[in-house]
Amino acid sequence: MTTAESRAALIDVSLPAPSLPVVEESTLRDGGLTPRQRDILGHIAQGRSNKQIAFALGIRERTVKFHVAALFERLGTQSRTEALVVALRTGVIRLDETA
């Protein structure tokens, strides 16, 4: 068995992909996120840490954590990656906006 075959054997493609939360697209586009949450989401999309976001926005790291938690709750997510996927899929942010 080759290395590629070994790797493929470790990945069971028969398992269903994890489902993402269902979020009403229109609700999010029509003001479901605060302007600050949108700012935070943009920084998350750029791969910035809470500390880097706090510095860039001139706020405390604890405040960033509060906004991130509120963002997760609003999007029905539990991680930064999941929040970005939901935001991209629902049109809350676009990839060209995060550069």
Question: Which domains occur in the chain, in start order?
Answer: 3-97 (1.10.10.10)
Cα angle: 66, vertex 69, 70; to 5 degrees: 85
pLDDT of res. 3: 65
pLDDT of res. 15: 46
pLDDT tens string, the chain, 99 residues long: the values are 666 665 555 554 454 544 544 555 454 544 588 999 999 999 999 999 999 999 999 999 999 999 999 999 999 999 999 999 999 998 888 877 555
pLDDT of res. 8: 56
Exposed, middle or buried, 53 (CB in 10 Å: 0-12/13-18/19+)? buried
- What predicted TM-score, i.e. pTM, was given to this entire model? 0.68
